[in-house]
Structure 1
Amino acid sequence: MRRFEGQRLLIATHNAGKLDEMRALLAPRGIEVIGAAEAGLSEPVETEDNFVGNARIKARAAVSATGLPALSDDSGISIDALDGAPGVYTADWAETGNGRDFGMAMQRTWDELEAISAPEPRNAQFRCTLVLMWPDGHDEVFEGVLPGRVVWPPRGAEGHGYDPIFMPESHELTLGEMSADQKNTLSHRARAVAKMMAGSFA
């Protein structure tokens, strides 16, 4: 596994919530984090049907545009009763044509579960795939999974995306009710980052 020796890392995301989360997780290493929007990058079209493929598309586009090493994230919620949906299409369920509406996406999720009378607990997993790519095209892949269940109605105004309807296993709060510090100790992204730190940043 290749070690990361640089001091600057481009985070290939336009999602402010993800960027803040990654910045907090990487801060202890003294690494300067630059977001895709700060670098003036456009969002590449994600054409793969899996998290790794889409993460590679984003990392490769960022590296090509800036010459900096890049860290990309493709993540989403997979719900057992919906055969893993929305999965890689998690963000697509929130698209309106005028930005993303995750309230609408959460409602759709619940409506689809109700339509099939999915039994409780409505088990799900938040999944995160990180791709760390160097300017020479080499990459390392790290995956994190947070098991839990979908609950209704949405609870909490913290976090982002589907956090208010996801309750992690062995917890009584949704991710939307947890502080950023609480979430960053257990999230799927934190778990993927921990693997990356133990590998390329060890």
Structure 2
Amino acid sequence: MSERNTIGGTIASSLKQVVLASNNAGKLREFAALFETVGIELIPQGRLNVPETEEPHPTFVENALTKARHASKITGLPALADDSGLCVVALRGAPGVYSARYAQLAGGEKSDAANNARLVEQLANEPDRRAYYYCVLALVRHADDPEPLIAEGRWHGEVLGAPRGANGFGYDPYFFLPSLDASAAELEPSVKNATSHRAIALRQLLTRLLEAA
């Protein structure tokens, strides 16, 4: 039996449904595809009338835990949350936790297009284009879980000056992966789901679930 099947069988026996503490359609597609492989039904919080909560913290892990506990408290179900973003070396880790509202911080609108435009402008004369997507996953079995499962993943690449590809969301059209010779938005969903920061974090999370079983 493969490691994936062993992990999947163990998890499926203890967790049948998990609330995803997000209303982001792109994240839902990616996580649903990944969780499907281990037999867990992922329920978006919007389906259970869970309102979004604030993300006031300066770190990814604190924001992820806040969202997971919020969704679990309202639904009574285990909950999974991620906090993720693009970290650019030349910008000292920005946009970071503010990736989804990066343009808003400068008085712009909240949209992928505005965020990407600000990022490209800031890097216009910067030779160092190194960046990485970072993801923290937090899973709580109940709202007051004293031992939340935490996992993380990094996906290293570079920031492009012009967009490439039509898949993905967020900064994907501007995030180039030298190892794959493609932007994240040029990847087939199956390839992205196997290699992304979320995929890396999820594999780590599944291993920790097995250890905790």
TM-score (norm 2): 0.87
Query: Which structure has greater helix proportion?
Result: 2
Give percent identity, aligned residues only.
39
Which position in structure 2 is the counterpart of 1:140? 149
Q: 1:32 to 1:90 in 2, by over 3 A?
A: same
Shift of 1:94: 4.9
Which position in structure 2 is the counterpart of 1:187? 196
Which position in structure 2 is the counterpart of 1:178? 187
Which position in structure 2 is the counterpart of 1:197? 206
Tell me, which stretches of 5 or more residues in structure 1 are unaligned? none
Q: Is 2:108–2:114's contact at 8 Å kept on the other side of the alignment?
A: no
Q: Is 2:101–2:111's contact at 8 Å kept on the other side of the alignment?
A: no
Which position in structure 1 is the counterpart of 2:127? 119
Task: Give the distance between the partners of 2:152 and 2:114, measured in 1 at CA.
Answer: 27
Which position in structure 1 is the counterpart of 2:74? 65
Q: How many residues of Structure 1 are paired with residues of Structure 2 in the alignment?
A: 197
- From 125, 131, 134, the equivalent of 2:138 is 131
Q: 1:94 to 1:66 in 2, by over 3 A?
A: farther
Task: Give the distance between the partners of 1:110 and 1:98, measured in 2 at CA.
Answer: 14
Shift of 1:169: 3.8
What is the RMSD of the two structures over their aligned residues, measured on CA atoms? 1.9
User: How do 1:14-93 residues align onto structure 2 when only pairs under 5 Å count?
Assistant: 14-93=23-102
Tell me, which stretches of 5 or more residues in structure 2 are unaligned? 1-9
Q: 1:37 to 1:198 in 2, by over 3 A?
A: same
Q: Which deviates more, 165-174 or 10-19?
A: 165-174
Task: Give the distance between the partners of 2:190 and 2:174, measured in 1 at CA.
Answer: 19
Which position in structure 1 is the counterpart of 2:4? none
Task: Give the distance between the partners of 2:137 and 2:103, measured in 1 at CA.
Answer: 22
